Structure 1
Amino acid sequence: MTQTALIVIDVQESFRARPNWQAVNHPDIADRVGRLVRAARDRGDLVVWVLHTEPGTGGVFDPANGHVRLIEGLQPAEGEPVLTKTAHNAFTTTNLQQLLTQHGIRELVISGIRTEQCCETTARIAFDLGYDVVFVTEATATTPLPHWTLPADASLEEVLADPRTLMPATVVERTEYALAGRFATIRTLDEQAGLSRMPVAS
Structure 2
Amino acid sequence: MTNALVVIDVQESFRARPLWAAVNNPEVVRNVGRLVEAARAAGEPVIWVVHAEPGTGGVFDPESGHVRVVDELKPAPDEPVLVKTVHNAFTGTDLQHRLTVAGIRSLTLCGLRTEQCVETTTRVASDLGYAVTFVTDATATFPIPHRDAPQDPTVAELLADPRTLSAEDVVTRTEYALAGRFATVRTVAELVGV
**Normalised by the size of structure 1, how large is the TM-score?**
0.94
Partner residue in 1 for 2:144: 145
CA contact (8 A) 1:6 1:108 kept: yes
Partners in 2 of 1:151 and 1:11 — Cα distance?
A: 28
Partners in 1 of 2:133 and 2:189 — Cα distance?
A: 13
Partners in 1 of 2:109 and 2:20 — Cα distance?
A: 21
Partners in 2 of 1:152 and 1:132 — Cα distance?
A: 38
Size of the alignment, in residue pairs? 194
Q: Which amino acid in the other structure matches residue 90 of structure 2?
A: F
* TM-superposition CA deviations, 1:41-62 (whole Å, max 9, x none): 1111110000000000000000
Provide the secondary structure at the position in 2 that maps to 1:32: helix
Structure 1 residue runs without a partner (length 5+): 195-202
C-alpha deviation, 1:152, in angstroms:
2.4
* TM-superposition CA deviations, 1:138-192 (whole Å, max 9, x none): 0000011111221222111111111111111110000000000100000111011
Q: Which amino acid in the other structure matches residue 139 of structure 2?
A: T
Provide the secondary structure at the position in 2 that maps to 1:112: strand
Provide the secondary structure at the position in 2 that maps to 1:137: strand
Provide the secondary structure at the position in 2 that maps to 1:145: coil
Partner residue in 2 for 1:66: 65
Partners in 2 of 1:99 and 1:148 — Cα distance?
A: 38
Q: Which amino acid in the other structure matches residue 86 of structure 1?
A: T
Partner residue in 1 for 2:108: 109
Partner residue in 2 for 1:80: 79
Partners in 2 of 1:6 and 1:32 — Cα distance?
A: 13
Partner residue in 1 for 2:17: 18
Matched, 1:177 2:176: yes
Partners in 2 of 1:85 and 1:152 — Cα distance?
A: 25
* TM-superposition CA deviations, 1:91-150 (whole Å, max 9, x none): 001010000001000001010000000000000000000000000000000011111221
C-alpha deviation, 1:72, in angstroms:
1.6
Q: Which amino acid in the other structure matches residue 116 of structure 1?
A: E
Point out 4+ residue stretches in structure 1 off by more than 3 angstroms.
Answer: none
Partners in 2 of 1:6 and 1:89 — Cα distance?
A: 15
Partners in 2 of 1:162 and 1:73 — Cα distance?
A: 33
**Normalised by the size of structure 2, how large is the TM-score?**
0.98
**Deviates further, 162-171 or 116-125:** 162-171
Partners in 2 of 1:146 and 1:153 — Cα distance?
A: 9
What is the RMSD of the two structures over their aligned residues, measured on CA atoms? 1.1
